[in-house]
Amino acid sequence: MVPATPFIPVRTITLQNLFRRSDNRIYPFITRKTCEGLYGYIEDIGPTGIRGWLMDCAACDTHLKTDAYLDGHFLGSGHAVRHRPDISRIMGRPIHCEFLAAYDPTTLLKVLSGLEPTRKKQIRVVATGSGREIVAAEDGYQTVGQLLAYATTAAAFLPQEPSH
């Protein structure tokens, strides 16, 4: 009789594990069984700011802070406090994790001044407490022209200085 070969579990390399090994960014891979760690995603960069979601699965009621940057220049902050029905369905309980990091259009206009409109720039959003970057659609790249249009639109809503 041939002795039985002991079963040695082989660890499956999933897309999630592969990403986690290569960097320290925050990814959106959650399931109902996810019970710890930071998860999130940047969904939109537009005229009102940067919108996405961020949650700490071990403390889902914690309203995490985010900070947005362009070329090292601070653009603005947001807190993950809005209800997300889609994330709530996945997690099986009410989750308030959406944020809007509104940016200062004057800073954005200053940073982009004189740059070629077709040049791509990367907006980075980090979870303030951990310093980890949140993954974004298209890695957060926007053209200077798009960002200038957003900043111009947002600047139109700023209070005007009284003219003398």
pTM equals 0.79
Task: Give me the sign of the Cα torsion angle 83, 74, 41, 54.
Answer: negative
What angle in degrees, to the nearest 10, is found between the helix axes of 144-155 and 105-112? 150
> Which residues, 6 or more positions from 103, have their beta carbon under 8 angstroms from its beta carbon?
49, 50, 68, 75, 76, 151, 154
| Amino acid 71: pLDDT | 87
The burial of 104, by beta-carbon neighbours within 10 Å (0-12 exposed, 13-18 middle, 19 or more buried), is given as middle
In DSSP notation, 50-61 reads EEEEEEETTSTT
SS3 category, 122: strand
What is residue 26's DSSP assignment? Answer: B
Q: Give the separation between CA 94 and CA 83, rounded to whole angstroms.
A: 7
User: With the CA atoms of 19, 25, 29 and 34 taken in that order, what torsion angle do they form, in degrees rounded to the nearest 10?
Assistant: 110
pLDDT in tens, the chain (164 residues): 444 433 333 333 344 444 444 578 889 888 878 878 899 999 999 888 999 999 998 887 788 999 999 988 999 999 999 999 999 999 898 999 999 999 889 889 999 999 999 999 999 999 998 999 999 988 889 999 999 999 998 888 877 766 65
